[in-house]
Amino acid sequence: MKYRRFGRTNFHSSEIGYGMWGLAGWTDTDAGEVAHALDRAVELGCNFFDTAWGYGRGKSEQILGDLVKKHPGKEFYVATKIPPKNFKWPSKPDYRFEDCFPADHIIEYTEKSLRNLGVDCIDLQQFHVWEDAWADRDEWKAALEKLKKEGKVRHFGVSINRWEPENALNTIRTGMIDAVQVIYNIFDQAPEDALFPLCRELDIAVIARVPFDEGSLTGNLTKDTVFPPGDWRGTYFVPENLNASVDHADALRPLLPAGMTMPEMALRFILSNDDVHTIIPGMRRVRHVEANIAASDGRGLPEALRLALKGHRWDREPTSWSQ
């Protein structure tokens, strides 16, 4: 595993972090296998774990808390998220700040996360949704100052809504935020336009989430894929999205070098960008942990392939199903 300096936090995060949504929120999760997968990730040098109160109403945070306790002496960066008070994901431009992140809610949910995680201090507390129009509101800044002063949170971040990578630029400029979490992958390259240059300039850490486009970039989805009842992916990969995503993923297959898998190519594309500090694939299986961490070998991608993949950028707009 390779490590990168995580912006001005000066953390040294593993290039492959651990996305902890699926293990406490998706159907068909095998808790025993998840426990092995987490242990294996720690063993292989993963030190950055991304969870949220919203992943199973604290369940994913508790799983991370148990992992931290189980591995005393290991370095962990614990990142979690404050749900919006209206519990609606993602936020919409017409949502009122007061309905999402009033100061008492920020504090209440940080206290809940501390209890779930069983830690004294959260390394990175993130807003789970955000609207840049809220940048100038003083209430959230006062809450963040208080939590930092009390030693309950080391750094704050914003998790930027899907397909809106520029919806936090003014917030970053407030100086209150040390990290952003954004969707960045072979399809979603728009963060390179304005977000990454600003983060570079201000030394803000970048977490690339959803490296596999929720699964299409693993190459394992087909137009006939059906998700189990209750699985949120069934509401995301509606026919319109599933068909288009499979077509875009299939268009990548001719580019695959011999011996390289689709997930490996997807991760190597992101790793070849120095503006990214950690990638957080969702992982529930030991074999995925091993395969994904193996991509962090410092080799990136051959330049010709990286350039060819740049041509597969796919800009999308938030829609009724995009979430």
Ligand X SMILES: NC(=O)c1ccc[n+]([C@@H]2O[C@H](COP(=O)([O-])OP(=O)(O)OC[C@H]3O[C@@H](n4cnc5c(N)ncnc54)[C@H](OP(=O)(O)O)[C@@H]3O)[C@@H](O)[C@H]2O)c1
Residue ranges binding ligand X (CB under 6 A): 19-22, 50, 81, 128, 159, 181, 209-215, 218, 220, 263, 280-285, 288, 291-292
If the CB atoms of residues 146 and 322 are measured against ligand X, the closer one turns out to be 322
Structure token pair of residue 186: 């072979």
d(CA 216, CA 250): 9
CB of 145 to ligand X, least distance (A): 23
Q: Which is nearer to ligand X, 35 or 146 (CB)?
A: 35
Least distance to ligand X, CB of residue 149, Å:
26
Smaller CB separation from ligand X, 146 or 285: 285
Closest residue to ligand X: CB criterion:
282
Q: Between residues 135 and 207, which has the closer beta carbon with respect to ligand X?
A: 207
Q: For the chain, how many residues are written?
A: 323
Query: In angstroms, rounded to a whole number, what is the distance separating the alpha carbons of residues 67 and 59?
Result: 13
Query: Judging by beta carbons within 10 Å of its beta carbon (0-12, 13-18, 19+), is residue 14 exposed, middle or buried?
Result: buried
Pick 21 or 140: Cβ nearer ligand X = 21
CA geometry: angle 307, 312, 315, nearest 5 deg: 125
Instruction: Give the type of residue at 256.
Output: L
Q: What minimum distance in Å lies between the beta carbon of 11 and ligand X?
A: 17
Q: How far is the CB of 318 from ligand X (least distance, A)?
A: 12
- In whole angstroms, the minimum distance from the beta carbon of 234 to ligand X comes to 13
Decide: 163 and 318 in contact? Cβ < 8 Å. Answer: yes
Q: Which of 60, 51, 123 is nearest to 82 (CA)?
A: 51
In the complex, the smallest distance separating the C-beta of residue 50 from ligand X, rounded to whole angstroms, is 4
- Alpha carbon distance 125, 75 (integer Å): 17
CB 3 within 8 A of CB 299: no
- Written as one letter, the residue type at 169 is L
* Comparison of 56 and 263: residue with beta carbon closer to ligand X: 263
